[in-house]
Amino acid sequence: MILTRRMTNEEKDSLLKIKEKHYLTNNLLKNIFSAINVGTGLLLVIFFLSLLLGGITALAVICFTGKKLIYFIPNLKTYLSYGVIIFIIINYAIWIYIGIKSYLTQKKVDQENVLKIEQEIKEGLVTEETYNVEEAICFIEIEHGGLSYFLKLNDGRIMFIYDYESPCWDDEEDENLSEQELIEKKQEKFLPTKEIKFIKSPITNFTIKEQYLGEKIKPNGIYDFFDIDIPEHGEFINYKWDELIDELFKKNK
Protein backbone atom coordinates (compact mmCIF):
# COMPACT_ATOMS: atom_id res chain seq x y z
CA MET A 1 0.00 0.00 0.00
CA ILE A 2 1.32 3.45 -0.96
CA LEU A 3 -0.04 6.71 0.38
CA THR A 4 1.05 10.35 0.30
CA ARG A 5 0.98 12.47 3.46
CA ARG A 6 2.46 15.59 5.01
CA MET A 7 6.13 15.53 5.97
CA THR A 8 7.01 15.62 9.68
CA ASN A 9 9.76 17.87 11.05
CA GLU A 10 11.95 14.83 11.69
CA GLU A 11 11.53 13.68 8.09
CA LYS A 12 12.28 17.18 6.85
CA ASP A 13 15.54 17.20 8.86
CA SER A 14 16.48 13.81 7.40
CA LEU A 15 15.89 15.08 3.88
CA LEU A 16 18.01 18.15 4.61
CA LYS A 17 20.85 15.83 5.69
CA ILE A 18 20.54 13.95 2.39
CA LYS A 19 20.72 17.29 0.60
CA GLU A 20 23.91 18.22 2.50
CA LYS A 21 25.38 14.85 1.62
CA HIS A 22 24.93 15.58 -2.09
CA TYR A 23 26.70 18.90 -1.61
CA LEU A 24 29.66 17.30 0.17
CA THR A 25 30.25 13.90 -1.43
CA ASN A 26 31.52 15.13 -4.79
CA ASN A 27 35.03 16.61 -4.59
CA LEU A 28 37.24 17.57 -7.54
CA LEU A 29 40.58 16.68 -5.90
CA LYS A 30 39.16 13.41 -4.59
CA ASN A 31 38.03 12.44 -8.10
CA ILE A 32 41.38 13.40 -9.62
CA PHE A 33 43.42 11.50 -7.00
CA SER A 34 41.16 8.47 -7.40
CA ALA A 35 41.70 8.54 -11.17
CA ILE A 36 45.48 9.01 -10.70
CA ASN A 37 45.58 5.95 -8.42
CA VAL A 38 43.93 3.89 -11.14
CA GLY A 39 46.32 5.36 -13.71
CA THR A 40 49.33 4.53 -11.52
CA GLY A 41 48.22 0.92 -11.18
CA LEU A 42 47.74 0.64 -14.93
CA LEU A 43 51.10 2.32 -15.53
CA LEU A 44 52.88 -0.24 -13.34
CA VAL A 45 51.22 -3.12 -15.16
CA ILE A 46 52.21 -1.68 -18.56
CA PHE A 47 55.74 -0.98 -17.26
CA PHE A 48 56.33 -4.59 -16.17
CA LEU A 49 54.77 -5.94 -19.36
CA SER A 50 57.05 -3.64 -21.36
CA LEU A 51 60.09 -4.88 -19.43
CA LEU A 52 59.07 -8.45 -20.13
CA LEU A 53 58.44 -7.79 -23.83
CA GLY A 54 61.66 -5.75 -24.14
CA GLY A 55 63.66 -8.51 -22.49
CA ILE A 56 62.19 -11.14 -24.81
CA THR A 57 62.89 -8.93 -27.86
CA ALA A 58 66.49 -8.24 -26.79
CA LEU A 59 67.08 -11.94 -26.13
CA ALA A 60 65.61 -12.88 -29.51
CA VAL A 61 67.87 -10.37 -31.32
CA ILE A 62 70.95 -11.77 -29.55
CA CYS A 63 69.93 -15.35 -30.34
CA PHE A 64 69.31 -14.70 -34.04
CA THR A 65 72.05 -12.13 -34.78
CA GLY A 66 74.60 -12.61 -32.04
CA LYS A 67 74.56 -8.86 -31.43
CA LYS A 68 72.87 -6.64 -28.86
CA LEU A 69 69.82 -4.58 -29.79
CA ILE A 70 71.77 -1.34 -29.23
CA TYR A 71 74.01 -2.27 -32.15
CA PHE A 72 71.05 -1.79 -34.51
CA ILE A 73 69.64 1.28 -32.68
CA PRO A 74 72.63 3.30 -31.38
CA ASN A 75 70.47 5.89 -29.61
CA LEU A 76 68.21 3.29 -28.02
CA LYS A 77 68.73 4.54 -24.44
CA THR A 78 67.86 8.11 -25.42
CA TYR A 79 64.76 7.00 -27.33
CA LEU A 80 63.65 4.85 -24.40
CA SER A 81 64.15 7.68 -21.89
CA TYR A 82 62.11 10.16 -23.92
CA GLY A 83 59.51 7.50 -24.69
CA VAL A 84 59.01 6.65 -21.02
CA ILE A 85 58.69 10.32 -20.03
CA ILE A 86 56.19 11.07 -22.81
CA PHE A 87 54.18 7.94 -21.99
CA ILE A 88 53.98 8.85 -18.26
CA ILE A 89 52.85 12.40 -19.08
CA ILE A 90 50.18 11.20 -21.51
CA ASN A 91 49.00 8.49 -19.10
CA TYR A 92 48.49 10.89 -16.21
CA ALA A 93 47.00 13.58 -18.45
CA ILE A 94 44.35 11.09 -19.61
CA TRP A 95 43.48 9.98 -16.06
CA ILE A 96 43.36 13.55 -14.75
CA TYR A 97 40.93 14.32 -17.59
CA ILE A 98 38.85 11.27 -16.60
CA GLY A 99 38.83 12.46 -12.96
CA ILE A 100 37.69 15.97 -13.94
CA LYS A 101 35.02 14.62 -16.30
CA SER A 102 33.74 12.27 -13.57
CA TYR A 103 33.55 15.20 -11.15
CA LEU A 104 31.63 17.38 -13.60
CA THR A 105 29.21 14.57 -14.48
CA GLN A 106 28.53 13.78 -10.81
CA LYS A 107 28.25 17.49 -9.99
CA LYS A 108 25.50 17.87 -12.57
CA VAL A 109 23.61 14.89 -11.11
CA ASP A 110 24.04 16.23 -7.56
CA GLN A 111 22.82 19.69 -8.54
CA GLU A 112 19.72 18.16 -10.11
CA ASN A 113 19.07 16.09 -6.97
CA VAL A 114 19.56 19.12 -4.72
CA LEU A 115 16.99 21.11 -6.73
CA LYS A 116 14.55 18.20 -6.54
CA ILE A 117 15.07 17.86 -2.77
CA GLU A 118 14.46 21.59 -2.31
CA GLN A 119 11.22 21.21 -4.26
CA GLU A 120 10.21 18.24 -2.07
CA ILE A 121 10.90 20.21 1.11
CA LYS A 122 8.90 23.16 -0.24
CA GLU A 123 5.92 20.92 -1.07
CA GLY A 124 6.25 19.13 2.27
CA LEU A 125 5.03 15.69 1.15
CA VAL A 126 6.35 12.14 1.53
CA THR A 127 5.19 8.77 0.25
CA GLU A 128 4.67 5.95 2.73
CA GLU A 129 5.02 2.44 1.31
CA THR A 130 3.71 -0.42 3.47
CA TYR A 131 4.52 -4.05 2.70
CA ASN A 132 3.24 -7.21 4.41
CA VAL A 133 5.77 -10.03 4.61
CA GLU A 134 4.86 -13.72 4.68
CA GLU A 135 8.22 -15.53 4.47
CA ALA A 136 11.94 -14.78 4.44
CA ILE A 137 15.17 -16.37 3.22
CA CYS A 138 18.55 -15.27 4.57
CA PHE A 139 21.77 -14.99 2.57
CA ILE A 140 25.29 -14.51 3.89
CA GLU A 141 28.00 -12.60 2.05
CA ILE A 142 31.09 -14.79 2.44
CA GLU A 143 33.73 -12.05 2.23
CA HIS A 144 32.34 -9.63 4.82
CA GLY A 145 29.78 -11.74 6.66
CA GLY A 146 26.91 -9.39 5.83
CA LEU A 147 23.36 -10.72 5.98
CA SER A 148 20.62 -9.96 3.50
CA TYR A 149 17.09 -11.23 3.00
CA PHE A 150 14.65 -12.08 0.24
CA LEU A 151 11.13 -11.44 1.48
CA LYS A 152 7.95 -12.96 0.08
CA LEU A 153 5.22 -10.33 0.20
CA ASN A 154 1.50 -11.04 0.45
CA ASP A 155 1.01 -9.83 -3.14
CA GLY A 156 3.51 -12.43 -4.45
CA ARG A 157 6.42 -10.08 -5.11
CA ILE A 158 9.90 -10.69 -3.68
CA MET A 159 11.72 -7.82 -1.98
CA PHE A 160 15.43 -7.67 -1.19
CA ILE A 161 16.70 -5.99 1.99
CA TYR A 162 20.20 -5.76 3.45
CA ASP A 163 21.18 -5.60 7.10
CA TYR A 164 23.74 -2.78 6.94
CA GLU A 165 24.99 -3.41 10.48
CA SER A 166 25.65 -7.12 10.00
CA PRO A 167 29.14 -6.93 8.37
CA CYS A 168 30.51 -5.26 11.52
CA TRP A 169 31.33 -7.05 14.73
CA ASP A 170 33.84 -6.94 17.55
CA ASP A 171 36.69 -9.23 16.46
CA GLU A 172 37.99 -9.76 20.00
CA GLU A 173 34.57 -10.68 21.30
CA ASP A 174 33.48 -12.77 18.32
CA GLU A 175 36.69 -14.50 17.23
CA ASN A 176 35.85 -17.69 19.14
CA LEU A 177 32.29 -17.96 17.80
CA SER A 178 31.33 -20.29 14.98
CA GLU A 179 29.76 -18.91 11.78
CA GLN A 180 26.32 -20.08 12.94
CA GLU A 181 26.77 -18.41 16.34
CA LEU A 182 27.83 -15.16 14.65
CA ILE A 183 24.76 -15.24 12.43
CA GLU A 184 22.48 -15.86 15.39
CA LYS A 185 24.10 -12.98 17.27
CA LYS A 186 23.52 -10.61 14.34
CA GLN A 187 19.93 -11.77 13.98
CA GLU A 188 19.28 -10.96 17.62
CA LYS A 189 19.81 -7.31 16.63
CA PHE A 190 17.91 -7.37 13.34
CA LEU A 191 15.37 -9.59 11.60
CA PRO A 192 12.73 -8.63 9.04
CA THR A 193 9.21 -8.24 10.40
CA LYS A 194 5.71 -8.95 9.13
CA GLU A 195 5.17 -5.30 8.26
CA ILE A 196 7.74 -2.98 6.70
CA LYS A 197 7.32 0.72 5.95
CA PHE A 198 9.52 2.81 3.69
CA ILE A 199 9.05 6.57 3.97
CA LYS A 200 10.43 8.15 0.78
CA SER A 201 10.78 11.48 -0.93
CA PRO A 202 8.20 11.52 -3.76
CA ILE A 203 10.42 12.95 -6.55
CA THR A 204 13.95 11.69 -5.83
CA ASN A 205 12.68 8.45 -4.25
CA PHE A 206 15.29 8.66 -1.47
CA THR A 207 14.46 6.52 1.55
CA ILE A 208 14.07 8.90 4.49
CA LYS A 209 13.13 6.32 7.10
CA GLU A 210 12.49 2.60 7.45
CA GLN A 211 10.17 1.02 10.00
CA TYR A 212 10.04 -2.68 10.86
CA LEU A 213 6.78 -3.35 12.66
CA GLY A 214 5.05 -6.37 14.14
CA GLU A 215 6.36 -9.85 14.77
CA LYS A 216 9.87 -10.78 13.61
CA ILE A 217 10.11 -13.43 10.89
CA LYS A 218 12.61 -16.24 11.27
CA PRO A 219 14.17 -17.03 7.86
CA ASN A 220 13.60 -20.40 6.18
CA GLY A 221 17.28 -21.28 6.02
CA ILE A 222 20.55 -19.44 5.48
CA TYR A 223 22.31 -19.70 2.13
CA ASP A 224 25.38 -18.48 0.27
CA PHE A 225 24.78 -16.04 -2.56
CA PHE A 226 24.30 -17.65 -5.95
CA ASP A 227 24.36 -16.35 -9.52
CA ILE A 228 21.49 -13.87 -9.44
CA ASP A 229 21.23 -10.16 -10.17
CA ILE A 230 21.00 -8.65 -6.70
CA PRO A 231 18.79 -5.54 -6.61
CA GLU A 232 19.27 -2.50 -4.40
CA HIS A 233 18.02 -2.48 -0.83
CA GLY A 234 14.21 -2.29 -0.79
CA GLU A 235 13.81 -3.23 -4.46
CA PHE A 236 12.30 -6.32 -6.08
CA ILE A 237 13.55 -9.27 -8.10
CA ASN A 238 11.84 -10.74 -11.14
CA TYR A 239 11.31 -14.19 -9.62
CA LYS A 240 8.41 -16.18 -8.29
CA TRP A 241 8.94 -17.51 -4.77
CA ASP A 242 8.79 -21.19 -5.83
CA GLU A 243 11.30 -20.51 -8.64
CA LEU A 244 13.67 -18.88 -6.15
CA ILE A 245 13.40 -21.85 -3.75
CA ASP A 246 14.06 -24.33 -6.59
CA GLU A 247 17.10 -22.32 -7.68
CA LEU A 248 18.41 -22.36 -4.13
CA PHE A 249 18.15 -26.14 -3.83
CA LYS A 250 20.04 -26.55 -7.12
CA LYS A 251 22.88 -24.22 -6.11
CA ASN A 252 23.24 -25.37 -2.50
CA LYS A 253 23.25 -29.14 -2.97
CA 114 to chain centre: 22
Helix (H) or strand (E) holding 215: strand 207-216
Strands (DSSP E) contained in 90-206 are 125-140, 147-153, 158-163, 193-200
Q: Which residue has the higher pLDDT, 104 or 126?
A: 126
In this prediction, residue 158 has a pLDDT band, given cuts at 50, 70 and 90, of very high
Residue 50 has pLDDT above 90, yes or no: no
For residues 248 and 242, what is the distance between their CA atoms, to the nearest angstrom? 10
In this prediction, residue 133 has a pLDDT band, given cuts at 50, 70 and 90, of very high
Nearest to 122 by CA among 11, 12, 205: 12
8 A C-beta contact, residue 202 and residue 127 = yes
Exposed (0-12), middle (13-18) or buried (19+): which is 222, by Cβ within 10 Å? middle
8 A C-beta contact, residue 128 and residue 36 = no
Q: Could you read off the pLDDT of 181-225 as tens digits, one per residue?
A: 777 788 888 899 999 999 999 999 999 999 999 999 988 877 776
In this prediction, residue 243 has a pLDDT band, given cuts at 50, 70 and 90, of confident
pTM as predicted: 0.67
